[in-house]
């Protein structure tokens, strides 16, 4: 779901499977509700984008993405 980090999407998918299945259908199957995705935000909390990190476990990918975002001086939400 746009505007939600991967971990939050996964928690929602576990709690509300029918809702997430419907949202994924509405998004053309483009949603992957697993940890690993992080949001890059400005100091006002507006979403600027997301980094692409892959190659390890979802949790390690999220940790690496968070470190990179923070090193660039931005705020992140995992």
Question: DSSP characters for 6-27?
Answer: HHHHHHHHHH-HHHHHHHHHHT
Per-residue model confidence (pLDDT) at position 71: 93
Under DSSP, is residue 8 helix (H, G, I), strand (E, B) or coil?
helix
Is residue 51 within 8 A of residue 69, CB to CB? The reply is yes
- In the structure encoding, which two tokens stand for residue 67, read together? 């470190």
Residue 68: per-residue pLDDT = 92
Q: What is the pLDDT along the chain (78 residues), one digit of tens a residue?
A: 667 777 787 888 889 989 888 988 998 887 777 777 788 988 888 888 888 888 888 888 889 999 999 999 888 877
The pLDDT value given to residue 45: 84
* Residue whose entry in the numeric block shows the structure tokens 């505007």: 3
CA-CA distance, 75 to 58, in Å (whole number)? Answer: 20
């Amino acid at each position: 779901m746009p505007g939600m980090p991967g971990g939050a999407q996964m928690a929602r998918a576990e709690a509300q499977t029918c809702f997430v299945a419907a949202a994924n259908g509405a998004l053309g199957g483009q949603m992957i509700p697993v940890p690993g995705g992080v949001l890059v935000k400005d100091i006002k909390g507006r979403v600027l984008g997301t980094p692409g990190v892959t190659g390890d476990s979802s949790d390690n990918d999220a940790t690496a993405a968070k470190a990179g975002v923070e090193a660039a001086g931005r705020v992140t939400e995992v």
